[in-house]
Amino acid sequence: MHLTIQTDTDNDILYVSLSKRALRRGAVARSQRIDDDISLDFDANDRLVGLEVMNASARVGKDWTHASVDELIGAGEAATIVGVNTPNLVRDHASRADFPKPAATLPTGRLWLRGQVQAYADARRKSPKLRSA
């Protein structure tokens, strides 16, 4: 995956492309608004290729032009990080109050931020009480 962050301070927009092809003219076949200020861009094969955040200074914070990238992952990758099978992640972990909220919910499934899932897994490994839960 090739991630690129573009900032447009004049229009207060942050764009995260998930592949080099997302930056090419005509690469986005459709956009889906998931929030008043957030849209997801998909290619002709319905693959997620980008994320646009409007009103970025309010949504991301005052230092939004210095945003860092955290990879979006699906249930399979999240399950690997947590150390369980994918069905077990969805059944036993994804609905827990302490599991990270999805960054996006698409028709194909939920997406989480890798760093948040990793922090959840690390906390479970450090706590004997959480490991058995």
Asked if residue 76 and residue 127 are part of one domain, the reply reads: yes
- The DSSP symbol for 115 reads H
Asked if residue 43 and residue 87 are part of one domain, the reply reads: no
The reply to whether 67 falls in a domain is no
Asked if residue 124 and residue 79 are part of one domain, the reply reads: yes
Q: Given this model, what pLDDT does residue 112 score?
A: 93
> pTM of the prediction?
0.52
The reply to whether 77 falls in a domain is yes
Share above pLDDT 70 across residues of the chain, in percent, rounded to a whole number: 92
Q: Dig out the tokens for 90 from the structure.
A: 């969805």
What tens digit of pLDDT does each residue of 61-97 get? 877 777 667 888 999 999 999 999 999 999 999 999 9
Q: How many domains does the chain have?
A: 2
Question: Which DSSP string do the residues of 44-108 spell out, in sequence order?
Answer: TT--EEEEEEESHHHHH-TTGGG-----EE-HHHHHHHHTS-HHHIIIIITTSTTSPPPSEEETT
Asked if residue 99 and residue 55 are part of one domain, the reply reads: no
5 Cβ partners below 8 Å, 6+ apart? 14, 15, 16, 67, 69
Least confident piece of the model among 26-30, 32-36, 37-41, 126-130? 126-130
**Domain span including residue 46:** 4-59
CA angle 70–74–75, rounded 5-degree value = 130
